[in-house]
Structure 1
Amino acid sequence: MAETTSRTLELLNLLQTHRQWAGSELAERLGVTERTLRRDIERLRELGYRVVAARGVQGGYRLEAGSQLPPLLLSNDEAVTMAIGLRLAATQGLVDGALTTQTALAKFEQVLPAAVRERVNALAASITPETPRGGPVEGELLGQLALACRDHERIRFAYVAAGGAETNRVVEPHSLVTARRSWFLVCFDLQRDDWRTFRVDRLTNFFATRVHFEPRELPAPDAATFVERNAQSFARRYHADVLLQVSLARFTELFGHWATGARVDSGRPTHTIWPIAAETMETLVSTLTWIPPSIRYTVRAEPELLEFMRGTAHRVVEAVAE
């Protein structure tokens, strides 16, 4: 009996780690006849596993989703990974994430061997996840988006931008990425005819169109890199040109790598144009304080930014006035 149970568990492990197995290959792996294999398959079905058999040259056995959740068979390393993943899920901004993961984790860790549980606790103690920003994300919505990415299905949704403007989008989803304490959807925006990223917590009215598409080539090595590039581009939303009355050579000598992007002013070889950018106007203004008092300069920027600079300068003068 013990040998049969052990073999059945080994069979389950094989079915979980491969899309489809030929019957002869499974029987050879288990060291049994194909008749014994069929009996073991029936035992798994009785336990609630939906094992489908297909005839023919391309046939074999495969494990499919059923109507209820049967027991899972995990290796020690897989169990550790799953337990750590559950603990991190509570911090990723999911709706009811903390409660759901705590109950799931309690059930899961209850059956872990002591040595495996010790590894989980040691790893969890050394991990400090970032606190999510923005609004909570529905787990169901993440699941729907993930399926649309997997199945290459066009979707529609409403999106609220950072400034409050709401638009309706039709996109071809590519990937879901967690970055900068938020969930992002990487997709090709059909209305903009370009690749875009959308914060999932700002996405509503999801609708699956059932229209499938041929995947496009992402203009980046991977989705995480694409999200980071977009985030960096957005982070530098305020720009200005600083016109310095100093040669480019002298400016480079003074500022080193911070002079990257600086260029000679057209028609005035003794003057330098230094482009600067920052996420906030406050940060951009603080950049100017690094310019030595001996160098005269002027700033070219959008009226809003220039007005902010004037106001800041006025407050500073008032603050230090006797």
Structure 2
Amino acid sequence: MPISSGPSTSRRMLALLSLLQTRRDWPARVLAERLEVSERTVRRDIDRLRELDYAIDATRGPDGGYRLGVGTRLPPLMFDDDQVVAITLALRTAGSLGAGIEDDAARALSTVQQLLPAHLRHRVESLAPAGTHGGDRRDADADPAVLLQVSEAIRASTELRFDYASPGGTTADRPARRTEPHHLVLHGGRWYLLGYSSDAGDWRTYRVDRLTPRTHTGRRFSPRPVPGGSPGRFVAARFKGSHDGVDAWPFHGTATLSRSLDAVAPFVGDGTAHALAPGSTRVTLGSWSWGALAARFAAYEADLADVEPAELREAFAELSGRAGRVH
């Protein structure tokens, strides 16, 4: 769509910069047509942008033109609405990367937010995750458009109706679900919706990458307090077998491993470990059952001693018996 006739020089230069960012090469003739000016005016505007430290390379050939190049420093950039949302989302979740960039990301986010027009500010403010928990981010592939729809329903306290795919990815023959959306939580590299199901009378968590929103019902609700007060801890607790939001495993045990603390500590996760002597480490772990807890300890491939409590020792005996029957 051509720019309206008679724009000011500054507005025309911004329009020119925006065009240069949308594709690699622009023939001078096409730029002039899009801006509704002469090619000579385009050349003058290119020179002005270069004076502002934009690296703009000239291209040769019958349709010689221009392309945005790489300069010695980052000049001001222009983004469309979807790009702004993507950048904001990435900056808001940077803390979960564990790469020591949290402070820089927070400053960058503050800068971006100060410059946003009101309609975009409202959209991105609702994208703040209620809690984060580190993990492999290869699975954090929720559609930004879906995240926006969910976050807007949270902000408006509007019941959300959606299709929910099975682990195999199908939603066939499944009725639409509905929930009172309360929080978005980033846990273990995935986005989760924490909502209250009026039908079940209980809190539920849903993976956002499996969720396809339907048209909102329009029913409003009053937000409820999350059990335990922290949405992030509540979701993390669900992965530990807890259903009341208490951040704890239902079963705990300790054992002494014939491994050094340096060899054990990286794999303790939410457990604890401390050195007893060189090559000997006392470890405390939790899980959702005694059998699962025994399997966690067995995964260290280390000799075990002083195993407590008795229920864990019995679980090891049962695990050993099952392993002996493998054929």
Q: Shared topology, TM-score over 0.5?
A: no
TM-score by length of 2: 0.41
TM-score by length of 1: 0.41
- Bigger share in helix: 1
